[in-house]
Amino acid sequence: MDAQLLREHAENQYKEELDALSSVDKKQRPPRWRMSPWAVMTYLMGGKLENGFEISPKYIGNRRTIEIAVATLTTDRALLLLGLPGTAKTWVAEHLAAAISGDSTLLIQGTAGTAEESVRYGWNYARLLAEGPSMQALVPSPMMEAMKAGKIARIEELTRIPADVQDTLITILSEKTLPIPELGAEIQAVKGFNVIATANDRDKGVNELSSALKRRFNTVILPVPATIEEEIDIVARRTEAMGKALELPAEKPAIEEITRVVQIFRELRGGATLDGKTKLRSPSGSMSTAEAISVMNNGLALSGHFGDGALKAEDLAAGIVGAVVKDPLQDSLVLKEYLETVVKERDDWKDFYRSIRHLL
């Protein structure tokens, strides 16, 4: 690991775990997989090896969901991870690619401006003009690199990519071939090649996938954490890891503070208090687990750099307001209503009430 990097690729950050798993993995491995499906599952879900080595969980949630995802990648079907923002789609995709291929960097980032060249190939125009079309003048995309090497290619935010660019995937996924008509040639995928794409539930209809493309994917839905205990565990683990990476000069947050932040997010997201006694209006934002982690880290930065290092309600308040209030008019009313009807009535939440109310 390079201590100077802000964020390591998964295969580098968790190299020790991947090597430990690979060394004890005696089960059958699909062609060009770094480890067996069993070992990939252990890497994602965590566990203790026979030699006592501890594998940290990368995904906390339904085990069957990840089993289906891993099983899909052993077939010729591509994998589409679908879910609300902040449900760890990118995180899971990166770790699957790291465990299977040892390389999570073959990535196509989907945006409204993603061009066909990003999925297929481009050209070195200086060389093209000097020598004419040739394989040497061709600039391979991450998809082409993955096909040639028998690795996993990742596509982030598939539904943000324009429909005509999405359709370039159909031949790749069905025929496992990338035609290069300018050269009268083609690239054929090597065993081990597959694609993991992610898409956001809330983006449905932005550039909806064609039925032809949908058929090429096996869709796995990543849900929000099922229980508050799961979500607290996720937020605690990721906050601690990111705090260390960012070298924030703050104390480890008390589990009580993490619990309060997660409870606020779950109640506003679900439209009711956890005991079900009070109905609430939900804000326009997603109130995702990823945003809860961001609130915690923002609070740690404030307490470490501008406080005494101990995380307090006033350090978290600004992050909570920022996460909830996306629409200044509508969401401010939602948060004020939640403060007055729920937070104010909780005896041990007075500090939260005062800190957030002061910012509205």
Asked: is 62-221 a CATH 1.10.10.10 domain? The reply is no
According to DSSP, the β-strands at 107-109 and 152-156 are parallel
The model's pLDDT over 146-190, given as tens digits with 9 standing for 90+, comes to 999 999 999 999 999 999 999 999 999 999 999 999 999 999 999
Predicted TM-score of the model (pTM): 0.91
Q: Which of 234, 249, 353 is nearest to 300 (CA)?
A: 249
Backbone phi, then psi, for 44, in 5-degree steps? -75, -45
Find the helix or strand (DSSP H, E) in which 194 lies.
strand 194-200
Helix, coil or strand: residue 83: strand
Helix, coil or strand: residue 78: strand
- For residue 204, the model assigns a pLDDT of 52
Whole-number Å distance between alpha carbons of 306 and 318: 14
Identify whether the C-beta of residue 319 lies closer than 8 Å to the C-beta of residue 298: yes
Helix, coil or strand: residue 33: coil
Tens-level pLDDT at each residue, the chain (360 residues): 666 788 899 999 999 999 999 999 999 999 999 999 999 999 999 999 998 999 999 999 999 999 999 999 999 999 999 998 889 999 999 999 999 999 999 999 999 899 999 999 999 999 999 988 999 999 999 999 999 999 999 999 999 999 999 999 999 999 999 999 999 999 999 999 999 999 987 655 577 888 999 999 999 999 999 999 999 999 999 999 888 888 889 999 999 999 999 999 999 999 999 999 999 999 998 899 999 999 999 999 999 999 999 999 999 999 999 999 999 999 999 999 999 999 999 989 999 999 999 998
- For residue 316, the model assigns a pLDDT of 96
Backbone phi, then psi, for 219, in 5-degree steps? -95, 130
Helix, coil or strand: residue 290: helix
Whole-number Å distance between alpha carbons of 37 and 29: 7
- For residue 86, the model assigns a pLDDT of 85
Helix ranges (H only) for the chain are: 10-13, 15-24, 37-45, 63-73, 89-101, 116-119, 125-131, 142-149, 163-166, 169-175, 211-214, 228-246, 255-270, 289-306, 313-324, 330-341, 350-359
Find the helix or strand (DSSP H, E) in which 178 lies.
strand 177-180
- For residue 136, the model assigns a pLDDT of 92
Amino acid at 49: L
Helix, coil or strand: residue 65: helix
The model's pLDDT over 298-323, given as tens digits with 9 standing for 90+, comes to 999 999 999 999 999 999 999 999 99
- For residue 359, the model assigns a pLDDT of 92
**The Cα angle at residue 138 between residues 170 and 102, in degrees rounded to 5:** 65
